[in-house]
Amino acid sequence: MSANASIAPTETATQALAAVIEALTAELPPNALVIEAAERRAYECDGLSAYRQVPGAVALPRTRDELLTCLRICREHGVPIIPRGAGTGLSGGALPSETGLLLSMARFNRILEIDPDNRCAVVQPGVRNLAISEAAAPQGLYYAPDPSSQIACSIGGNVAENAGGVHCLKYGLTVHNVIGLELVTLDGETIRLGGKTLDTAGLDLLAFMIGSEGMLGIVTEVTVRLLPRPERTQVLLASFDDVESAGRAVAGIIAAGLIPAGLEMMDNAAIRAAEDFVHAGYPVDAAAILLCELDGTNAEVSEDIMVVRQKLLDLGATEVRTARDDAERARFWAGRKAAFPAAGRISPDYYCMDGTIPRHQLGTVLERINALSREHGLGVCNVFHAGDGNLHPLILYDANQPGQLETAEAFGQQILELCVEVGGTVTGEHGVGVEKLDGMCVQFAAPELEQFHNLRRAFDPLGLLNPGKAVPTLSRCAEFGRQHVHGGQLPHPDLPRL
C-alpha cells in the first residue's frame, strides 16, 4: 500500500457523511464533535506517520449514551467508524477514512476500581497504561505489560493491538493480563467477557477480542490483572563483539531454564543512538548488548544472577555489568525505551517494523537484515525483545528524497517475509493495521483469511468497524501474489488470479 494512496469518495459516501455530521451535531454536546479541517488534521495518523488521511469527522464521546448515539447514526447511514485510542499505534490501525467518523475513546479515561483483594483493576479504555500501575502502587501492585509508549498509550489501544513491552517475556502480553472486557457492538449491544472470577460460562471469546484492532466492537471497560511488586529487581548489561554471539546467548539463557523478567537486545547503531540521546552508560563500541532483568525474592535473584552472569560469559560476552543501584537500572532501561525517539534524532524519518521469530534465529535474521540494509542503501537500527523473539528494526530514510519511502516499505516487507520464512509471524505487538496487509498474504492462505472474514462478519455484518485493516481481502492477496513471485511460484497459488 502506498502511504499516499487514497480513493476518491463517491458522491453517496460524501452525502452519507454529511448526513451523519448533521445528525451528530444535533444530538451530541458541542465539544463532542470535531469538524473543522485544521482540528481534524490532528487525527490524520497514528505513530506510523508515513500513512496519513484526514478524517471526515471526529467524535469524542464522554458517556455511553454519546457512544451509542455515534454508533446508531453511523449504522443508519452506512458510514465507517474508525476507533482510536491515544494514537501511539505503529501499524496504521487507527488510520482514518475521509468519508468516515473517527471515534476517539480518549474521554473514557476513568479508573473505576482498584481491587487489591482480587489483584485486579477495572478501567475505561482511555486510561493510560502507566496510570494503572501508578494507581495500584499504594497497594504494592502494578500492571505488567509495559510498552515503550506506556506514559502515553491507552489500555484500550493496548487491547486492540495486543501490546507487549520489555517485561512481557516473563509476564506476558496484554492477552495474558486482561481478564475481562466490556464491549459495545455496532448494533449497540453490550457484551461482557471474562471478569474477576476464575471461570465464566459460555465460549471463551476474551482472547479472540484482544488484538482484533477495533473490527468487532468498541471496548468500553477493561479488567486487568495486577501483580505484586517483586522483592528485588536486578539488571545485567552484557556486551558482545558480534551479534551472532548475542543471539546465541539469548537462546542459551532460556535453554538453561531461566526466565528473566526482560531480555532485550540492541545492535551497535541502536546503542549509539540511544547513548547519544539518554546517556545510559552503554558501551558504544559493542556490536550488540543484552539487557537482562531478573526479579523475585532476594534469594532467587542472588542465585539466578550468578548463573546468568556465567552463562553470558560462557556464550561470548566480553563484559557483564550489574546495575549498582535503582538509578543505574532505570538508566539502562531508559536507553532501551528511548530507542525509537533516539533513531528520530539521527534520521529525518524512520520506519519501525515489528515481527516475531524463533529465538535461535536471532543471529541469522539480524545478519540478513543488515545485508538487506546494504542492498537498499538505507540504514537500520535493530532493537529486539530478544527473549520472546520480537524484533523491531528501525529503517532510516528521508521522506523528502524521492523514492526513499517506497524503498523503506519494500525493505520492511522483505523483513516480514523473512520472519515468516524462518518460522515466525508478521507481528509481535504492533498489530497489522494497514502496514502489514501484504505480510498477511504471505503468512496465511486463502481458506484461513476467509475464516477471519467470516468471524468478523458475525460481529459486524455491515463491515463498518475499522474497514480495510488487519485482514486483507483475497483479491488484494491475489494482486500481491502476481506482483511478488518467488522462484516462479505465487506465495498462495490457491488464490484466484483476477
- Whether 364 has a pLDDT exceeding 50, the answer reads yes
Residue 379 buriedness (CB in 10 A; 0-12 / 13-18 / 19+): middle
- Whether 123 has a pLDDT exceeding 50, the answer reads yes
Parts of the chain belonging to CATH 3.30.465.10 = 111-228
**Who has greater pLDDT, 173 or 495?**
173
- Whether 235 has a pLDDT exceeding 60, the answer reads yes
Task: Categorize the per-residue pLDDT at 200 as very low, low, confident or very high, splitting at 50, 70 and 90.
Answer: confident
H-helix segments, 137-201 = 155-161, 168-171, 174-177
Parts of the chain belonging to CATH 3.30.70.2740 = 345-483
Task: Categorize the per-residue pLDDT at 495 as very low, low, confident or very high, splitting at 50, 70 and 90.
Answer: very low
Task: Categorize the per-residue pLDDT at 8 as very low, low, confident or very high, splitting at 50, 70 and 90.
Answer: low
Parts of the chain belonging to CATH 3.30.70.2190 = 232-341
- Whether 313 has a pLDDT exceeding 60, the answer reads yes
Picking from 143, 142, 135, the residue whose alpha carbon sits closest to that of residue 159 is 143
CATH class for the region spanning 11-104: alpha beta
User: What pLDDT sits at residue 335?
Assistant: 95
CATH topology of domain 345-483: Alpha-Beta Plaits (3.30.70)
Element (H, E) at 69: helix 64-77
- What interhelical angle do 339-346 and 268-278 show, nearest 10? 90
- Whether 488 has a pLDDT exceeding 50, the answer reads no
CATH annotation of 111-228: 3.30.465.10
Paired sense of beta strands 120-123 and 218-225, if any: antiparallel
Eight-class DSSP state of 205? -
DSSP 340-370: HHHHHHHSSEEEE--EE--GGGHHHHHHHHH
- Whether 233 has a pLDDT exceeding 60, the answer reads yes
- Look up residue 489 and give its three cell numbers: 511460484
Q: CA 57, CA 103: separation in Å to the nearest integer?
A: 9
E-state strands within 362-436: 380-385, 390-397
* Region for residue 219 given its phi and psi (left: phi exceeds 0; alpha: psi -120 to 50; beta: otherwise): beta
Task: Categorize the per-residue pLDDT at 7 as very low, low, confident or very high, splitting at 50, 70 and 90.
Answer: very low
Q: CA 336, CA 165: separation in Å to the nearest integer?
A: 11
The answer to whether 481 and 441 are in contact (CB under 8 A) is: yes
Q: Which amino acid is at 408?
A: A
User: What pLDDT sits at residue 9?
Assistant: 64
31-79: pLDDT as tens digits: 999 999 999 999 999 988 789 999 999 999 999 999 999 999 999 999 9
Picking from 189, 177, 79, 108, the residue whose alpha carbon sits closest to that of residue 136 is 177
Residue 216 buriedness (CB in 10 A; 0-12 / 13-18 / 19+): buried
96-122: pLDDT as tens digits: 999 999 999 999 999 999 999 999 999
Element (H, E) at 21: helix 11-27
- Whether 350 has a pLDDT exceeding 90, the answer reads yes
What are the beta bridge partners of residue 184? 190, 218
The answer to whether 81 and 72 are in contact (CB under 8 A) is: no
Q: Give the architecture-level CATH label for domain 232-341.
A: 2-Layer Sandwich (3.30)
What are the beta bridge partners of residue 264? 291
User: What pLDDT sits at residue 227?
Assistant: 98
Q: Residue 13 half-sphere exposure, CB side, CA atoms within 13 Å? A: 14
Task: Categorize the per-residue pLDDT at 485 as very low, low, confident or very high, splitting at 50, 70 and 90.
Answer: very low
- Strand, helix or coil for residue 389: coil
Cβ neighbours of 382 (radius 10 Å): 25
* Core vs surface per residue 264-279: b (16+ CB within 10 A) or e: bbbbbbbbbbbbebbe
* Region for residue 360 given its phi and psi (left: phi exceeds 0; alpha: psi -120 to 50; beta: otherwise): alpha
Parts of the chain belonging to CATH 3.30.43.10 = 11-104
- Strand, helix or coil for residue 269: helix
Picking from 275, 268, 209, the residue whose alpha carbon sits closest to that of residue 239 is 268
The overall average pLDDT reported for the chain is 93
